[in-house]
Structure 1
Amino acid sequence: MSPLVDKQSSQEHSIIENKGDAFRRLAKPNLAAMQLQLLPYDVLRNVLSRLSLKEVVRMGILSREWRQLRICHPELVFTKDTFSNITTDNTEQREEMTFAELMDFNAKKLEWLTRRFIKSVDNVLRPLWYTPTTTTTTTTTTTLDKFAVKFGLWKKHRYHIDRWVSFSICSRAKHIVLDFTSEDIGFGSQYDKYKYSLPLSNLGGTNGSCVRSLYLGNIYLETPPSFCGITNLKELTLNTVSISGDDLECLLLSCSLLEILSIEWCKPLSILHIQQELCQLHYLRVRFCDLELIELHASNLNKFEFDDSLKQIKLSECLKLSEATFVSNMRAFEFDEYGFDFTFAELPTGLPHVHKLFLLLNPDQVLRFSDSQSRFINLRHLNINLETFFYPDDTSWSVGLVNILELAPLLQELELHLGRDRYCSSAIRTVMAIEGHVHRHLKSVYMSGFCEVLGLAELALYILENATMLKRMVVDPVSYRDPSNDDIYSVSKGGISEEDLYDINQKRAFAEMYLGREEFRHILTIL
C-alpha cells in the first residue's frame, strides 16, 4: 500500500477518534462541575431532615457550600449537646480549690458556657434570617416544624432570646420549646425576678397562628391587657413558670382550641377557678403546684393527672372525665412523722364520673384513702401501685384496700403492683382471709410483686373467697414497678423487670402454699 493511502487512512482514523471523544464528553456529565444548588430545595431539605441538628452543624463547619445554601433543618433543637464546642472542664483542678474558689470557678465556667451557647445558636440562625437596613425587624423565608432552646438562661439574656422567639414566629414554627431550666441554676421564688419574661403579645393573633404546641420552662408570664390569645394553640406545658391565677385564667380562656394542658412547679398559683367553659380541653396534668382548689368546666375533659399538692378538686361537671391518675409525692415518708394531713375523703365526690383510676401510694395512704363516706359510683377499673418502703406491722393497709373496693361497688378489674424496694419477713405466719363484704362485680385481678409482705396474701384470699363473679386472678412474684420514678405500671403496658430474680422461687412457693387450693384452680394462675 502506498504512503499516500496510509496517510489518508491515519487522518480519517484521527478524525473518528476526535468525534468519539467529543461525543463522550457530551454524553458523560462533568461530575466535578456539579453544584449542590442544582438540586431542588425540597431534596436538600429532605437530606438534612434525616440528620440530627448536631450532624448538620458539623457538616456546616466542614462544607462552605452547605453553609452558603442556607438550607434549614425542619427541627431546630438547641441544647448543650448540640454543639461540640460547649464542653466542661476536667475536675482535677477543682479538687484543690477551697469552697469559695470552687463557687467562683463554677460561676465563671457557667458564664463562659452560656456565652458559647448563645454564640453557637446565633451562628446557626444568622444565615437564615435577614434584617433590612431600614428596620430592626428580623425576617426569614425559613419554615420550621419545631424550634427549641433548652439551656439555663435568664432575663439578662433577653436580647438574644427575643430575637430567637421572633425568628421562630417568622419561620412559622408549629412547635416551640423555650426551656430555660437547668441543674446548674437555682430554684425557688427568690429567683423569680431573674426569669426571662416572655412577650406573649408576639405570639398573639396572626403572628402566632401557626403555633400548635408551646412548652415554657423557668419563665415569667404575664398576659398583656390586649392579649388576644394564641389562635391555634392545642398543647400548652408550663414548667417552673411564674404566673398568677388571674393571668393563667386569661391565657387559657384566650386559647379556645386548647386540648392538652400540663402545669408543673408553677407559682404563686393558689386557686385555679375558671367559670367559663374550656370546650376543647381533654387532658389536664397538675403537679407540684400547691393549689388549694382547682375548679374547671370542661365538657370534653377525659383524662386528669394530679398529686397530693392539690387540696381540693371540683370537676363534677366534667361529664366525660373517665380516667384519673393520682401520684403521691409523700409516699416515701411516714405521715405521722411528717405531719401530712392530706385526706382522700372528698375524692369520689370530686371525680364522680371516673371509670379508670390509677393510684401510686404507700400502705398507710391506702388506709387513709378508705376514710371516704362517698362512693366511686362509675369506677370500673382500679390500678394501685404500692410502695412498701416501710414494712407494714399489721394487715390494716389491706383492710383499707378492702374498704376501697367497697367504695367502688361496680368495680370489675383490679390491678395491684408492688414496687421492688420492699422488705419481706421470712418468719412463718398464719394466713387467713380478711373479713369483708361480698363483691358481686369484680371479674379480673392481677397482682405483681407478690411476696411475704404482711397483708398481701390475706387480701388475695379475701378476693378469692368473696368476689362471687371472679373469673381470673393472676399472681406474679416478679415486681415490674421502678420506685425511682413516678411512672405507674399497668399490665397493658407490659415491661421487663430489672429485679434480682434469685428469690422468685421462694415467693412462688409462698403463693402456692397459701393460695393454691383446689377450689381456686379454675380461677387462680400463679406465674
Structure 2
Amino acid sequence: MGLADLIIAMKKRRQQIQAGSNKPPNPTPGIPIPSGSKRARSSSEQDDYSQGTKTMRFSGPDLPEDIWCHIHALLPLPDAARAACVSREFLHSWRCRPNLTFSQETLGVNLTYCERTLRTGEEKLALKFTKIVDEIMKKHTGIGVKTFKLQYCGSRIYTSRLKSWFKIAVNPGLEELVLSLPVVVYDPKYYNFPCSLLFNGSGKSISYLNLKGCAFHPVAGLGCLRKLHLSRVHITGDELWCLLSNSLVLKELNLSQCNKITRLKIPCLLNQFNHLTVFGCKTLELIENKAPNLCTIHIDTTLLRLLSGDSLQVKNLEMLWPLEYNLVYYARAELPRIMPNLETLIISSAGEVLNTPIVRAKFLHLKLLEICLSVAEGAFSPAYDYLSLAFFLDACPVLETFELSVYQTRMKHDSVSGDYSLLRKMPERHHVSIKNVKIDGFCSAKSMIELTCHILDSATSLENLTLDTIYGADYEHVDRLAVHEIGGCSSPIGKRMIRDAHKAVLAIEKYIVGKVPSNVQLNIKKPCSQCHSVK
C-alpha cells in the first residue's frame, strides 16, 4: 500500500469511528491513551469539548506540519494530488509543494500507438497535458517552489500558458528550472523564454538551469547559477557571454546543437568553472577559454582544434565525434603539448589511416586511456596497424587502465597465421603501472594479436586482461550462454563478424593463453553458442 492509499484508508477509518461513536478516536492505534486524556472525560466534559472553539480532526499521526510537508513533497505527483483530497495537512502542502515535475510520465498522459500516428491524437495529447498542468498551477500559491520541471516529449505543446506557469513557479527561492519543449517549437517565433522573470530578482537563487527547444536572450547573470544546460536553444555568443560573465559561481556549461553561437567565450572571472560539454554546435568557430580551473571537457573533436586560451589544467578529456578521422594520431601528436596534465582520455574515431606516431612528448599523468575505433558500416581500415598503439602506451608512464574497442561489420585486416615466431615484436619496454586491459571487439587481425602479446610482455603489473570477441556487450558475465539463458545475450552482429569471432577465439588459445602469467586473470568472452552460431 502506498502512502497516499494509507492516508485515504486512515481518513475513511476516522469517518467510521466518528459516525459510530462520540468518543474521539485514538490518533495512534495500538498506543494506549494515558489517564486524563479525552477518553476519560465525563459526558458533560465531552459536550463542553465538542462545543469548544477547536474541532477535533484526524488525518494521521500527530506530527509537526513541516514533517507532513516533507512527506508530501516526497510523493509522486499523482499520489500527492490524491493525498491532498483527504488531508488538510496535505492540502496545505499541495498548494505549497516545493518540487513540481510535469511530464507525460508523472501526469500519466499517454496515447495508444494508433492515436500517436494521427495529428489529431497529438493535438489531444497536448491539450490534455496543458489542461492538467494549468489546473495544478492555478491552485498552487507559488510559495516555496524549489524545483520546477516541464518536460514534454510529444510533437507539439500549447505554449500560451507557459508564461503564467513561470510567473507562479519562478520565485526568489527557486533552485532548479528545467524546460524541455518539442522540436516543433524550437523556432523562436513559437516561444521566447520570458527572461524578465529570471532577471528581475525572482531567479536569483537558481543554481541549475536547463532549457531545450526555445529562444533564450539573457540580459544579465544569475548570482547562484552553478549548472547551465542549453540544447537546441536560440542564443547568440554575445548573449551567452553576458550571462556567463555575470554568473560568477558557474561550474558547468553544457551546450548541444546551439547553432546561433559562432564564438564561445568563457571569461576569466569564472574561478569555479571546471566542466565544459559542447556537441553538435555546427556554426561554432572558436572556443576561447580564460577560466583558470577548467579540468573536464567533453567535446566534438573538430572543435578541440578550435580551442584557445587556458587548457593547462584540463585533467579529463572526452573526444566523441564518429565522423572525424585520425583522432588517435592527432591526440598522440598534439595533446601532450596542449593538455600536459591529462589524467583521463577517451577518444572515439571513425577511422585511422595514419598509424600512431612516435613523439617525444609524454602524458606524464595519464591513468585511464579509452580508444574506440568505430565504423558504422564496413571494415576498419586495413592500413592501420593496431601494434602502433604501443607507441601511445609508451608515452604514458603511469597508465593504469587501457581499453580498446573496435566496431566493424566486417574485418579486412590480415588474420594471424603461422608460428608465434613470425609475430612482430616491439622494442622491449616496461609498463610498470598498467593493471587492467580490455579489448572489446577483439578480432583475428595479426596486428591486434601482436599488440596483445606486447602488452603481456611489457606490463609487469598487469592484473586483469579481458578479451571480448563480440563488440558492445553491456554486462560483465564471462559466460555468454549463461546470460543468454536469462534473455540478455544477443548483440547486433552480422555473420561475417560471427565467423571472425570464432577465429579470434582460436587465435587467443594459440598465441595468447600460453603467454599469460599465473598472476594475471585472463577473461575470454566467447561467442554465444545459441546467438552466434556459424551455421
Answer yes or no: same fold by TM over 0.5.
yes
* Structure 2 CA distance for aligned equivalents of residues 483 and 168 of structure 1: 44
**Pairing partner for 1:245 from 237, 251, 258:** 237
* Structure 2 CA distance for aligned equivalents of residues 292 and 522 of structure 1: 53
Equivalent position of 2:126 in the other structure = 114
Question: Is 1:277–1:296's contact at 8 Å kept on the other side of the alignment?
Answer: no
Paired positions, count:
454
Equivalent position of 2:196 in the other structure = 201
* Structure 1 CA distance for aligned equivalents of residues 296 and 263 of structure 2: 20
Question: Is 2:214–2:232's contact at 8 Å kept on the other side of the alignment?
Answer: yes
Secondary structure class of the residue paired with 2:268: strand
**Cα-to-partner distance string for 1:7-38 (whole Å, 9 max, x where unaligned):** xxxxxxxxxxxx989479969x99x9524498
Question: Residue 79 of structure 1 aligns to which amino acid in structure 2?
Answer: S
Question: Residue 88 of structure 1 aligns to which amino acid in structure 2?
Answer: L
**Pairing partner for 1:358 from 323, 340, 346:** 346
Equivalent position of 1:296 in the other structure = 289
Secondary structure class of the residue paired with 1:359: strand
* Structure 2 CA distance for aligned equivalents of residues 464 and 70 of structure 1: 63
Question: Is 1:474–1:526's contact at 8 Å kept on the other side of the alignment?
Answer: yes
**Cα-to-partner distance string for 1:233-262 (whole Å, 9 max, x where unaligned):** 111111111111111112111110001111
Instruction: For 1:129-208, list aligned pairs within 5 A.
Output: 129=141, 140=142, 142-151=143-152, 157-170=158-171, 172-181=173-182, 185=184, 192-204=187-199, 206-208=201-203
Equivalent position of 2:223 in the other structure = 231
* Structure 2 CA distance for aligned equivalents of residues 511 and 329 of structure 1: 29
Equivalent position of 2:32 in the other structure = none
Once the two structures are TM-superposed, the CA of residue 42 in structure 1 deviates from its matched residue by 1.5
Structure 1 segments unaligned to the other structure (5+ residues): 1-18, 95-101, 130-139, 490-495
Equivalent position of 2:400 in the other structure = 413
Equivalent position of 1:55 in the other structure = 79
Secondary structure class of the residue paired with 2:144: coil
* Structure 2 CA distance for aligned equivalents of residues 386 and 217 of structure 1: 31
Once the two structures are TM-superposed, the CA of residue 376 in structure 1 deviates from its matched residue by 4.5
**Cα-to-partner distance string for 1:372-391 (whole Å, 9 max, x where unaligned):** 96844434222223436544
Question: Is 2:145–2:171's contact at 8 Å kept on the other side of the alignment?
Answer: no
Question: Residue 303 of structure 2 aligns to which amino acid in structure 1?
Answer: L
Structure 2 segments unaligned to the other structure (5+ residues): 1-38, 477-482, 492-497, 524-535
Equivalent position of 1:3 in the other structure = none
Equivalent position of 1:135 in the other structure = none
**Pairing partner for 1:215 from 205, 210, 213:** 210
* Structure 2 CA distance for aligned equivalents of residues 360 and 165 of structure 1: 40
Change beyond 3 A, Cα 1:64–1:380: closer
Question: Residue 175 of structure 1 aligns to which amino acid in structure 2?
Answer: E
Change beyond 3 A, Cα 1:462–1:203: same
**Pairing partner for 2:521 from 502, 520, 525:** 525
Equivalent position of 2:139 in the other structure = 127
* Structure 1 CA distance for aligned equivalents of residues 45 and 409 of structure 2: 79
* Structure 2 CA distance for aligned equivalents of residues 419 and 323 of structure 1: 22
Equivalent position of 1:97 in the other structure = none
Question: Residue 401 of structure 1 aligns to which amino acid in structure 2?
Answer: L
Question: Is 2:402–2:438's contact at 8 Å kept on the other side of the alignment?
Answer: yes
**Cα-to-partner distance string for 1:62-118 (whole Å, 9 max, x where unaligned):** 88995577443332100122223x332552x89xxxxxxx7xx41x33333222222
CA RMSD of aligned residues (A): 4.3
Equivalent position of 1:401 in the other structure = 389
**Larger CA deviation: 251-260 vs 447-456:** 447-456
* Structure 1 CA distance for aligned equivalents of residues 106 and 400 of structure 2: 46
Equivalent position of 2:57 in the other structure = 34
What is the identity percentage for the equivalent residue pairs of Structure 1 and Structure 2? 19
Equivalent position of 2:366 in the other structure = 380
Question: Residue 511 of structure 2 aligns to which amino acid in structure 1?
Answer: Y
**TM-score, normalised on structure 1?**
0.72
Matched, 1:449 2:473: no
Question: Residue 263 of structure 2 aligns to which amino acid in structure 1?
Answer: I
* Structure 2 CA distance for aligned equivalents of residues 161 and 369 of structure 1: 54
